[in-house]
Every structure is written in structure tokens, then in C-alpha cells.
Amino acid sequence: MKPITTLLISLMLIAPYAIADDKQYETATFAGGCFWCMEPPYDKLDGVISTTSGYIGGHKKDPTYKEVSAGTTGHAEVVQIKYDPAKVSYEKLLSVFWMNIDPTTPDQQFCDRGSQYRSAIFYHDEKQKQAAEKSFRDIEKTRPFKQPIVTQLVQATTFYPAEDYHQDYYQRNPLRYKYYRYACGRDARLEEVWGKK
């Protein structure tokens, strides 16, 4: 048998399993301010396959970071998560989301201001919508803060991955990332909102 024929047969045998494996993964999308800061808490979770920083919820096709950060496209900075529901539930992803945002500030997260930094859950199907609504109600009942929750629950639209230099920023530029996070007061405010972890 020729090598090329052997290769084709091997690929044909492997392909169905690769497709099946990919189908078991699901997608979640959350806006919690600067997308650099939303990747780390999800990357730590067993069952999360990947996190991708990007933009969603706007009206312009293929927006750039410059356009989104100027607040002219209607997009929000988000992290899109590919995960294995057999290992981590959507409810767990929601719990991590809430604990990493300030749900009391409209069009702002920490030092970043503008609609591009709004907090939002972008649900992908009816099951996610119901889970997001339940998590919202649960937070309403148990919140340790007095201000109203302004986090949006919105149906996901087209997601645009951010430029390469934004991906895994906290790993590629750890010192700049840590300085930004500290200077932005993110952890200090999270402690004010939710208390010490």
C-alpha cells in the first residue's frame, strides 16, 4: 500500500472521533470588563478547554481593539470559553463570573469606563439563559452589597476574537498585567463587593 493511501485511511479513521470529541464541548461567553482579567480564573478550572478574548454585542463587522475601546461599535470586551460540560458545569462558570466582577456599576468595571466594559452574560441557548436567570436571582437573594445589580443577560451574537497580542496577555506579559490589575483596583474592589475569599 502506498504511503499516501495509508495516510488517507488513517485520517478517515481518526476524523469521526475528532468530530465527536469537538461536539462534546460547549461555549460560554462573559463580559467582565478588561478581558485580560477574565481569562485567568477560567483557565484554572478543570474542564475548561480554552479561553479566548474578544468582542461581542456590537453592530460593526470585524471590529478592531481601537474601535471597540473607543466605544463606537457597541461591542463589549468578553472572554469566550470552550469547556467540557462533563467536567465543569455552566453553573460553575456562572459562579466564577459573578465573583470576578462588580455587578453594581453600569458601563464600567473597576477603572475602565464605557459601554465596552459593561458586565454581561451572553447566553448561547435557552438552557444557558435559564441558568443565567437563576444565578441572577440567587445573587439578588444573597448579595452582600446594597447597590442594585446592573449586569445584563443578553443573547450571544457574532463573536470576534481579539488581536493575537491580547490572547493570554497575563501569561505573556505577567509584570504589565499585574501592574495593570493592581493600578485598576480590581482586587481591592472585588473584596469590597464580595468580601474576602
Neighbouring C-alpha atoms within 13 Å toward the C-beta of 110: 21
* Active site members: 34
- DSSP for 111-174 reads TEESGGG-EEEEE-SHHHHHHHHHHHHHHHHH-SSSSPP--EEEE----EEPPGGGTTHHHHSH
Q: Cβ(24)–Cβ(84) under 8 Å?
A: yes
Please check whether residue 161 lies inside any domain of the structure: yes
The cell numbers describing 190, all together, are 472585588
Q: What share of the chain is helix, strand, coil (3-state, %, to 5)?
A: 45, 20, 35
Q: Looking at the domain assignment, is residue 12 inside a domain?
A: no
Residue 133 lies in a domain: yes
Residue ranges in the chain modelled with pLDDT below 50: 2-20
Q: What confidence score (pLDDT) does residue 62 get?
A: 97
Residue 3 CB partners (closer than 8 Å, separation 6+): none
Mind listing the pLDDT tens digit for each residue in 4-53? 444 444 444 444 444 445 669 999 999 999 999 999 999 999 999 999 99
User: What CATH number is given to the structural domain containing 137?
Assistant: 3.30.1060.10
Instruction: Please report the pLDDT score of residue 21 as a whole number.
Output: 54
Residues 6+ apart with CB under 8 A from 128: 28, 90
Residue 2, in any domain of the structure: no
What global pTM score does this model have? Answer: 0.88
For residue 184, being part of any structural domain is answered with yes
Q: Is residue 4 in some structural domain?
A: no
Structural domain that includes position 100: 24-194
Specify if 19 maps to a domain: no
| Residue 152, strand partner residues | 120
- pLDDT score of 196: 86
**Is residue 17 domain-resident?**
no
What's the number of domains the chain is made of? 1
Distance CA 29, CA 124 (A): 8
pLDDT of residue 91: 98
Q: Tell me the three cell numbers of residue 60.
A: 460593526
